Amino acid sequence: MMSVFANIEHTWLSVWVRESPSLLAFPFILYLHTLGLAMLAGVNVGLDIWLLSARDHVPAVRRGVYQVMWLGFGINAVSGLALLAAYPAKALTNWVFFTKLGLIAVAMWVLEVQKRELVAADRGGATVVNDRLRRLAMLSIALWGATVFAGRFLAYTHSILLASEGF
Amino acid sequence: MWESVWLEWFFDPIIHWLVRTPLSEFVMGYRWVWPISESLHFCALTVLAGTVGLFDLRILGLAKGISPRTLHSTLRWGFVGFGVSLLTGVMFISGQPDQYFYNNAFKLKVVFLFLMGANAALFYWREFACVRELGPHDDAPTSTKWVAGASLFFLAAVMLCGRMLTFFRPPYG
């Protein structure tokens, strides 16, 4: 497995992201990852807080907001893959990385369930935010919080940085 | 040359005082304080960006169906997020003050934070009375949209400068 990681580390993308002195390489890709976080997790958490604070109003469907979140997801997926290409062994030998991926998958699933619930409540003419929606909102906040913690802890819990430099 | 002499004259006593505070010792003395504070800083940023960003998106017309007035009530959590960011930010600065005071990305971040605050003050001074009256499907006035657009820009700029801190750090002395 380490030889696969070492091969990835020698690709032009990996070398450019990791070693280029340009601010558009590693620093800007890292920034895009944070921007994507704000667009996806941030807006999702904003919606969750709104759902939890709403007392007597069920919102209509907000397609534009979901488009912003999916754009954030796309930015995070692309920037995440670039960061993974730069340090594959660092991430793929760390269980925290897989925990982060699992948390993101569950959070995205909760986002979709929440969206369907909102549409159903809107069509049904509900006048209050139901308990299921509130529970989903709380779960979503907890999942994104845990994802952020897992993401930050990646920098402090890895045991291998580069497979090609030995470990 | 004169600029750096002036900066050292101004900042060095503050740095020497900061690194001797109990807060600095707490931040640097325990292995997990920094990573946990960083995670909290990012969680708070997520809440701040989410509540302020969603409100700005509604003003710009992307979240129609939600009344701006009800969405505005979530901004109190944005202020909580800002407070946690500020607190954890002070912890980082007290831990390694020289890494921030002599860092151009940090200086620019502070400038954008002030611009963000000034923009928020402008919103409450000139636009809020009008926004309060908007219904769930109403369009915000153009002037309010400019303020919301500026808010999103400053938020993105603060995040950019925050991320660039690591790459503009002075050498450890």
CB contact B38 to A (< 8 Å) = yes
Q: A with B: how many residue pairs have Cβ under 8 Å apart?
A: 115
In tens, the pLDDT along B15-56 reads 999 999 999 999 999 999 999 999 999 999 999 999 999 999
CB contact under 8 A, B167 and A23: yes
Q: Looking at beta carbons, which residues of chain A come within 8 Å of B50?
A: 38, 41-47, 49
Residue A20: predicted pLDDT: 96
How far lies A92's CA from each of A96, A101, A102, A117, in Å? Answer: 9, 11, 13, 35
* Residue of A105 and A63 predicted with greater confidence: A105
* Residue of B172 and A73 predicted with greater confidence: A73
Whether A67 shows a pLDDT value over 90: the answer reads yes
For the segment A147-153, the average pLDDT, to the nearest whole number, is 97
For the segment B118-133, the average pLDDT, to the nearest whole number, is 95
Residue of chain B whose alpha carbon sits nearest to that of A24: B164
The answer, as to whether pTM is greater than 0.90, is yes
For the segment A134-163, the average pLDDT, to the nearest whole number, is 95
When pLDDT is cut at 50, 70 and 90, the band that residue B1 belongs to is low
Q: Tell me the shortest Cα–Cα distance from A3 to chain B, in angstroms.
A: 30
When pLDDT is cut at 50, 70 and 90, the band that residue A61 belongs to is low
CB contact under 8 A, A46 and B74: yes
Residue of chain B whose alpha carbon sits nearest to that of A43: B50
In tens, the pLDDT along A88-126 reads 999 999 999 999 999 999 999 999 999 998 888 878 777
Residue B4: predicted pLDDT: 74
Domain boundaries, chain B: 2-168
DSSP three-state, residue A22: coil
The per-residue pLDDT of chain A, averaged, comes to 92
> How many distinct structural domains can be found in chain A?
1
CB contact under 8 A, B46 and A42: yes
CB contact under 8 A, B66 and A61: no
For the segment B106-127, the average pLDDT, to the nearest whole number, is 97
When pLDDT is cut at 50, 70 and 90, the band that residue B8 belongs to is confident
Rounded Cα distance between B120 and B117, Å, is 5
CB contact B158 to A (< 8 Å) = no
Whether B173 shows a pLDDT value over 80: the answer reads no
Range of the domain at A30: 2-165
